[in-house]
Every structure is written in C-alpha cells, then in structure tokens.
C-alpha cells in the first residue's frame, strides 16, 4: 500500500494498518490497527485472536514520542531504525504502547494523525462534544436518530430517565415531526436535557427581569454570591466579555443564562482560586521553608519485590513536578553501577541511563531544583564511576560548589538553585573541612535509619561498613545524610546542610511525642520520610501527619494511585505545580511554639467554619460498563489537617442518576489550623451490599478555595481530568465567634 503522511489518509473508518507492538527485545508481534468511525477510538487485534480485540480512546493519550524514545524501543534500536518507531504515552499510570511501522511514511501518518486528534480533543467545545455523542449513537449512519437510538445514547451518557419524560423531550426537539432528530435538532434536545434548574434558580435570585443579569446585577452577584469583594465591578465586565455568547446581550453590558452557566462551569468559576494555581509564592527563602514534592524508590513502576525497574518511572514522576527522586545503586557485574531494589527480584537498570533520563526531564515541569536522593550500596570503585557519570552527563546542571564560596548559615533558596540538580548522600567531613586528598571514611549506608527495628526490607538491610569515594563525596553539598541523634543534639550541633531520613513510624512517633521540637528542627534542616519496609505492595502512608510537623521531603510511591497521592497532588497543585510549596509562617520561625496536637495555643489562633452546600452533580462517569447500569452517587467531603481537624461528612445517595443528581445538602466543618488543611471531595457509587465504587475526586488546599457558587471538576483515580464530570457547590467560610 502507498503511504502518504497527508491528512486524508488518517480518516476515520478507513485508516488501517499493520504495526508491530513491542514489549521487549524478544516480544514483538504484529497487530492490525484501525481508527474507528467516531474518529476518537483506536482499535487493534492480533490476526489470530478471532473476535478478541482491544480499544482505547485518543482522550487517554497524552503524547506521541517519535523514534527510540522509550527503554523498549532503545533495546531494539539496532533491529528497527528510529524513523519506523513511535511510542503512545497514556495519561496517569497506564503503560506506554511501543509500536514499529513498516515504512517511515506509515510511522509519520500515525504520529501526525494522533497528534492532531489529541489537539482536537484538548480544544473541543460543548457543541463538538454533542456532535461526538451524536456520531457514536447514530448506528446506521443516516445522519438521523430515532427514539430508540436516543434511548440508547442516554444510557451511554449515564442518564436514566423514564420513558415518558424522554419521549416528551424528544417530541419537543422533533420540530419536523418526522420521528427522528437531525444533528441541529439533536443539539436542541441535548440543550433541553442539560438545562440546569439549580443554576437557573441562582440566576433568578439576582436577575430583575428573569431574562438577563444587567451589569450591576452581575456585580451584586459577584459581591454577595461569590464574595469577590472590591474587584467585583471590574470582574463583572471581564466575565461578560469572556463568556457571554449573545452579541446583543454584550452590547447592553448584560449576561444571559447561557453566559452565566458558561462562567460557572469555567476555570474562573471553579473551586480553585485561579491566582493560586500560578507560581505566586516567595521562592527566595531557605529550602527548609518549603514542602517538596518527593518520590520513594522512584525506579519502580509496580511493587517492591518483583516489580519492573524502569526509566519510565522517573519520567512520570518528574513530569508530575516531583522534585526529589530516589536512586538505589548497587555494584554491577561489568563495572557499571546498576539501579534496582536490592536483594529482591525487581529488574535492573543502568545508573548512567537513570542520570541521562533525569537530565532530559528534570526541568520540563518546573525550573526549581531537583534533589537526587542516593541510596548507595556500591564499593569505592563503582562510586567513583557514579561520580564520573554525574559530572559528565549532567555537566553544568549538577551543583558542584557552594553558592558564594561561603559555609552557609542557612540553606540556599529554590530561586538561587533554579535549574540545578543537588546530590543527597553521605559525605566525608563537612563543608567546613578542607578535605585531605587521600581520605576515605568508614560509613554504613542508611545509617540514619538504624535504630528503627520495624523494617526487614531492603530500605535498611544489615550492612558491613562501606567506604566512601572522595569523588562522590565531593559532589554532596547542601544535602549531607547524617544519623539522627535527637532534637537537642541537632539544636546544639546540627548544621543546616545535614539531613536525616526517618521511617514513617519513627516520624509519626516523634510528631506525637515532640511535635514542637520537630517543627523547630524543620525550620532549619531538611528531613526525609520514607514508607515502612513492610509496604512491599508499594502502598503509601498518609503524608499529612508529616506535613503537620513541617517535614519537607515526604517520599511517596508515586506509582500507586489512591488517597495519599490525591493529597500530594492536591497540595502541589498550587504555585504553578512547581513542586515547592511555602510552609505557613508559623512553621518557618525557628522559635515557633506551634504543636499540631495543640493548635489553639498558637498566638494567632483563628478557627474557621467551613460550610459546603452540595447542590448537584453533572455527567458523572459510569463505573460499571454493563449495559443498562446507572450509578447511585453520593458525595463525601474529607478534611485532612492537624488531628483535631480530621473529619468526614457525606450526603445521602441518589438512586439511578449519574447525569444530573441533585442533593441540596449542607456539610459543616470547623478548622483549627486552616493553613495546613486539605479538603478532598469524593464521589462514590453507593452499594448497600459491598464497598462503594469510586467515581471521581478532587483535592485542594483549604487556602486555595474560592467561596460562593463553584464547580468542582472531578479527576479519575489516576488524577487525570474526566470532563465534563463535575459537582456544583455553594461554599461559605466564616470566622468562628
């Protein structure tokens, strides 16, 4: 077949080709691929699979990488040239799809074609969504939909309405009385279907004539309903300019119901304060004054015993804004250090490949410094090779000298370290010492974890004393690993560049027994927390307990979705997603008396009341893909913060309605330390016989919440958006008198 990379080739329903799917050097199999009629679904199967096939939607694809851009394709580079190879990278934690085409033209047709589709998905407006649904449901492709097809479509969209009501809406839209809807009539049908009574009611409350909001009425809504304060006047005009679709309304300086709903569903109408999403915090304070997004055993994609070690895991963590990654190094058999979870069956990768990957991806999501946490099990010779790789591969990116030639009294700031990679490891002597050329030091690795008897894992196996290579030691500047000898010792003798690691249980114990001491310690020195060695399934601990005492490097298994990663994603969603979040001021003062156990003893203690009216839900995804199954949704609000603030409240469940459930229930909370609070909204499918199924969630810091009528745009279990699913709430925040 003649391949051209021109546009018509990648046409839905016609575009098909045979590609090799590659999983390893030995696993390379041919698969038939097709772009289905909906122009969004890619279908593939093996020629022997009978009816069995796989599909995925373009909405699941994050990017297309060209050439040998994955470990798997690099491993077969000699067999297949780069211009035949490409990789589909999926959102969230789904594995890549590595593919090889028969010709460069065919590869280009796929690369350009899928990229265009991804762009289309990202820029689709509501009208195109509707058009998309229409094409999916119009089974016989006559450009019309009869009532039976419409019923089927409603089921696909998670709408369960009684036959009579559906028929009533259908008849209203069927202006030509032909018994079927053409696309324009279907758009009208969809509009009636998605009309939001609860939004209309709010609109009515502020509109004089019930038809539109005049400028001062909109201003009044922003002032009273949205608590926008001073900026309401200016904002009112901006919103009309941005969201009002009707030109005549715009000319009158007014907003119609359409424009009003559009604003409420936009980013500006979302629960997250837009100005807090961007980089806005002071980045010139010492590193110890920030929470830092951190990953544990970054090289693992799965569990801790048999899982695959992978460069892809570093790419995923760094792309999510992670700023502290872990590298477990062991002597390789051919003189090249390797990375894997020692004494286990996890697969091995080369240290130098890890460093090359870090170099390429370190600063894609954020300019602020990356800390390489080195877990060093190598002998002196391979340590020296590690030092060479670090210097040669990273070049200027690697920080190799103190900033102004001075021994620091406090750590440098993220701002001063922009674009730099720092090494955290053991060091011979201190920054003060002029190190003697011949010195090697007796050091046992992960010494800081000794005295923690809970963990039989490879995090701290019993080791003989190992020697340190001077070359590697010299690369350690501001993150020297030391054993923790208590807060008193640190107060008297600790240096700002010395840092210790604590297992989750030790950190939790210290937080409970000596909270204030821990908070003070963390104003000046960094501390790293890691999961218990018993978590061989890569499960996570709750990071909030550690943030409550100001621990900066709270390392989590990024590969494991769930509550703990939702909290981490929630905290680091602010400040441009740069991986650094400034701690509250009472956690940055060296003489602070703050204790998470006794928040009311803080001098500027001001508890707040948070009241959340959960109004309605919109187009929640189906949990169970079985024909005819519709969800019974409920909303739970969970508060994470100091122990007194931890709380959960939920609404009742609504039977059989994932499309537009209405709750109108109010949940109330009291927050003693709002500055440390995270709020998690979870939507679940109620099941009286077994555990509820997860539908979606969104987590954010309390300090980033906008009061008023807001939409919460839900995320999947993996933390990726699932438009157009949302919940509509009204939030009020007041001081507790």
d(CA 25, CA 75): 6
Residue 150's SS3 state is helix
- 656 known ligand binder: yes
- 177 known ligand binder: no
Q: Could you tell me if 698 and 715 are in contact, meaning their C-beta atoms sit under 8 angstroms apart?
A: yes
Integer-rounded Cα Rg, in Å, for the chain is 28
Write the Ramachandran bin of 335: left for phi over 0, alpha for psi from -120 to 50, otherwise beta.
Answer: left
Tokens of 51: 């009816």
- 9 known ligand binder: no
Tokens of 347: 């697969």
Which residues are known to be catalytic?
Answer: 296, 341
- 566 known ligand binder: no
d(CA 61, CA 64): 8
d(CA 279, CA 48): 53
d(CA 2, CA 80): 20
- 375 known ligand binder: yes
DSSP 703: G
H-helix or E-strand spanning residue 467: strand 466-467
User: Which of 156, 160, 166, 153 has the alpha carbon at shortest distance from 656?
Assistant: 160
> Which residues make beta-bridge pairs with 42?
35, 56
**E-strand stretches of 138-251:** 144-146, 180-182, 212-214
d(CA 291, CA 527): 10
- How many Cα atoms occupy the beta-carbon half-sphere of 714 within 13 Å? 25
Q: Which residues of 438-472 are buried (b: 16+ CB within 10 A; e: fewer)?
A: eeebebebbbbbeebeebebbbbeeeeebebbbbb
Torsion of CA 448, 450, 456, 462, to 10 degrees: 100
d(CA 439, CA 591): 38
Q: Could you tell me if 551 and 522 are in contact, meaning their C-beta atoms sit under 8 angstroms apart?
A: yes
Q: How far apart are the first and last CA of the chain?
A: 77
User: Which of 359, 306, 302, 296 has the alpha carbon at shortest distance from 328?
Assistant: 296
Residues 6+ apart with CB under 8 A from 144: 138, 178, 180, 181, 182
> Which residues make beta-bridge pairs with 684?
634, 694
- 426 known ligand binder: yes
Separation of CA 407 from chain center = 37
Residues in the chain: 737
Residues 6+ apart with CB under 8 A from 202: 221, 225, 709
Q: Which residues of 220-236 are buried (b: 16+ CB within 10 A; e: fewer)?
A: ebbbebbebeeebeebb
- 312 known ligand binder: no
Count Cβ atoms below 10 Å from residue 486 Cβ, excluding itself. 12
- 687 known ligand binder: yes
Count Cβ atoms below 10 Å from residue 521 Cβ, excluding itself. 25
DSSP 416: T
- 83 known ligand binder: no
Residues 6+ apart with CB under 8 A from 390: 355, 398, 423, 472, 475
- 323 known ligand binder: no
- 297 known ligand binder: yes
- 447 known ligand binder: no
Binding site as annotated, residues for Ca(2+): 297, 326, 328, 375, 630, 632, 656, 685-687
Binding site as annotated, residues: 297, 326, 328, 375, 424, 426, 501, 528, 630, 632, 656, 685-687
Binding site as annotated, residues for substrate: 424, 426, 501, 528
């Amino acid at each position: 077949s003649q391949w051209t990379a021109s546009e018509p080739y990648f046409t839905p329903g016609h575009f098909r080709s045979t590609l090799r799917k590659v999983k390893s050097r030995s696993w390379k199999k041919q698969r038939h691929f097709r772009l289905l009629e909906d122009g969004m679904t890619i279908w593939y199967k093996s020629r022997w699979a009978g009816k069995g096939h796989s599909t995925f939607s373009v909405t699941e694809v994050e990017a297309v990488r060209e050439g040998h851009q994955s470990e798997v394709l690099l491993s077969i580079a000699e067999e297949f040239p780069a211009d035949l190879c490409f990789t589909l990278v999926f959102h969230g934690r789904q594995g890549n799809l590595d593919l090889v085409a028969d010709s460069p033209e065919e590869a280009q047709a796929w690369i350009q074609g899928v990229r265009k589709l991804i762009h289309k998905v990202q820029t689709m407006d509501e009208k195109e969504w509707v058009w998309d649904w229409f094409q999916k449901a119009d089974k016989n492709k006559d450009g019309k939909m009869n009532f039976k097809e419409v019923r089927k479509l409603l089921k696909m969209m998670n709408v369960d309405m009684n036959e009579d009501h559906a028929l009533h809406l259908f008849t209203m839209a069927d202006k030509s009385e032909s018994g079927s809807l053409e696309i324009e009539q279907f758009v009208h049908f969809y509009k009636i279907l998605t009309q939001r009574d609860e939004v209309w009611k709010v609109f009515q409350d502020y509109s004089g004539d019930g038809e539109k909001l005049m400028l001062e009425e909109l201003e009044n809504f922003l002032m009273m309903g949205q608590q926008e304060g001073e900026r309401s006047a200016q904002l009112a005009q901006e919103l009309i300019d941005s969201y009002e679709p009707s030109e005549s309304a715009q000319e009158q300086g007014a907003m119609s119901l359409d424009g009003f709903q559009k604003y409420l569903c936009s980013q500006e109408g979302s629960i997250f304060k837009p100005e807090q999403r961007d980089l806005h915090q002071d980045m010139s304070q010492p590193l110890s004054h920030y929470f830092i997004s951190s990953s544990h055993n970054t090289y693992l994609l799965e569990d801790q015993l048999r899982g695959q070690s992978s460069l892809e895991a570093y790419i995923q963590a760094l792309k999510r804004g992670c700023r502290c990654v872990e590298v477990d190094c062991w002597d390789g058999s051919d003189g090249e250090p390797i990375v894997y979870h020692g004494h286990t069956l996890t697969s091995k990768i080369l240290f130098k490949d890890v460093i090359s990957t870090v170099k390429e991806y370190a600063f894609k999501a954020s300019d602020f410094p990356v800390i390489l946490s080195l877990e060093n099990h190598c002998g002196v010779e391979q340590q020296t090779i590690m030092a060479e790789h670090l210097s040669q591969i990273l070049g200027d990116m690697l920080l190799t000298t103190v900033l102004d030639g001075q021994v620091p009294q406090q750590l440098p700031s993220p701002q001063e370290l922009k674009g730099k990679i720092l090494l955290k490891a053991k060091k011979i002597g201190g920054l003060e010492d002029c190190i003697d050329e011949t010195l090697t030091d007796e050091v046992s690795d992960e010494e800081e974890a000794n005295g923690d008897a809970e963990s039989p894992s490879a995090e701290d196996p019993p080791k003989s004393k190992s020697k340190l290579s001077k070359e590697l030691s010299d690369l350690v500047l501001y993150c020297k690993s030391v054993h923790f000898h208590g807060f008193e010792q640190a107060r008297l003798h600790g240096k700002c560049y010395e840092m210790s690691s604590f297992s989750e249980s030790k950190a939790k114990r210290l937080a409970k027994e000596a909270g204030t001491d821990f908070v003070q310690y963390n104003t000046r020195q960094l501390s790293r927390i890691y999961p218990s060695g018993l978590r061989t399934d890569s499960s996570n601990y709750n990071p909030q307990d550690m943030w409550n005492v100001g621990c900066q490097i709270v390392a989590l298994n990024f590969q494991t979705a769930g509550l703990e990663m939702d909290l981490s994603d929630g905290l680091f969603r602010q400040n441009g997603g740069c991986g650094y979040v400034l701690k509250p001021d009472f956690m940055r003062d060296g003489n602070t008396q703050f204790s998470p156990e006794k928040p009311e003893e803080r001098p500027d203690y001001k508890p707040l009341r948070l009241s959340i009216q959960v109004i309605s839900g919109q187009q929640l995804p189906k949990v169970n893909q079985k024909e005819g199954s519709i969800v019974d949704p409920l909303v739970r609000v969970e508060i994470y913060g100091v122990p007194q603030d931890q709380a959960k409240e939920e609404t009742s469940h609504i039977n059989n309605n994932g499309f537009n459930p209405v709750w109108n229930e109010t949940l109330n909370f009291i927050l003693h330390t709002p500055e440390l609070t995270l709020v998690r909204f979870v939507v679940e499918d109620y099941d009286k016989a077994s555990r509820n199924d997860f539908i979606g969630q969104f987590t954010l810091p309390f300090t980033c919440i906008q009061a008023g009528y807001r939409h919460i745009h839900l995320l999947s279990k993996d933390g990726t958006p699932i438009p157009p699913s949302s919940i509509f709430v009204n939030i009020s925040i007041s001081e507790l008198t």
